[in-house]
Amino acid sequence: MQVFFFEAFAEEDAALRHFCQGRFTADYSWCSIQEWGSSQRPPAPIISIRTQSAIPDAWAAHLQGILSRSTGYDHLLHYQKAHKPCPALAYLPLYCHRAVAEQAFCLCMALLRKLPKQIRQFKQFQRDNLSGMEIQGKNLLVLGVGNIGSEIVNIGRGLGMQVRGVDPLQKCPGLEYGSFEENAAWADIVMLAMNLNETNQAYFNQEKINMLKPGAMLINVARGEFTPLDVMAEAINNGQLGALGLDVYEDETSLGPALRSETTLSLNTHLQALMKSEQVIMTPHNAFNTIEAVQRKAEQSVQQIEAFLKNGRFIWQLP
């Protein structure tokens, strides 16, 4: 076997099998590495993961390449830093920027219109306390205006929002840029699309939360490390945040397996509090997951691996 794919959910598994057929030998599992089971050696010289797998240290000497089927690569940078020499490392930068941007607005509009509460009150056909808000005219601040952030900007403009951006690289035409500190009190809605690095861990600390307009909405479709759960729970509880949409979470290598095994007693107490709040919507790191993006993801994964098997080099390696 040449390649083993971890964390391949049903639709992705089917797409990968379709594109891999006849090109190289591979096997597949829905499990993260830690759920798959302990072993001193990897199941193949090339492995492909997403973001929830913790790669055993013992595997490093036996791996030729690691492909993360994700646009983010901070987890690979941590692995690279810890292992010298290191297997070739690669990611997929281009497959899902539209899908993730649309999920950000899916969360945003559901929260604006109190959709979870609307669904609950349907059984009584009761409309008390269901008045929501329209998105047109709202102030949107986009943190990180790269591939995903640029799509967020375009969608926001199309919906009639006032949009500003925070990014050291000012590539989006016609967008007003500034610092978070300059724009925090202006924003009705803040959407995170930044890359995670060593300088922006726990970005939304209490100080930054206090800079926001009281009752602002925060949407994170980037990395969970930006929005520590203890800070988020307190901000929702005291009303500093009016609404919170999360698709990503700190310590997903533990959270995902815990939820799948229903070991709720061991879950973070702040996460449990957020799960009960009517002002919060949480989705299972699913923003990338459209039919179109999954097809692109599978096809680009196969292109990456074929290039590595042929040339010893991935197409999209770590920057």
CATH of region 97-282? 3.40.50.720
Q: Which amino acid is at 125?
A: F
- Per-residue pLDDT tens digits for 165-185: 999 999 999 999 999 999 999
pLDDT of residue 258 exceeding 90: no
Q: Fold match between 3-95+291-311 and 97-282?
A: yes
pLDDT level of residue 246 (50, 70, 90 thresholds)? very high
CA separation for the pair 224, 267 (Å, rounded): 15
CATH 1.20.210.10, applies to 3-95+291-311: no
Average pLDDT of the residues of the chain: 95
CA separation for the pair 166, 175 (Å, rounded): 10
pLDDT, average across residues 251-255: 88
Determine what percent of the chain is predicted with pLDDT higher than 90.
Answer: 91
Domain range list for the chain: 3-95+291-311, 97-282
Q: Which of 6-10, 77-81, 108-112, 266-270 has the lowest mean pLDDT?
A: 266-270
State how far the alpha carbon of 43 is from the alpha carbons of 53, 59, 65, 245, 314, in Å.
14, 10, 12, 37, 20
pLDDT, average across residues 228-255: 95
pLDDT level of residue 40 (50, 70, 90 thresholds)? confident
Label residues 210-245 b or e (16+ Cβ within 10 Å = b): ebbbeebbbbbbbbbbbbbbebbbbbbeeebbbbbb
pLDDT at position 168, please?
95
pLDDT of residue 55 exceeding 60: yes
DSSP result, 247-295: S--TTHHHHHHHHHTT-GGGS-HHHHHHHT-TTEEE-SS-TT--HHHHH
- Per-residue pLDDT tens digits for 211-240: 999 999 999 999 999 999 999 999 999 999
pLDDT at position 22, please?
92
Interior angle at CA 223, CA 319 and CA 146, nearest 5: 50
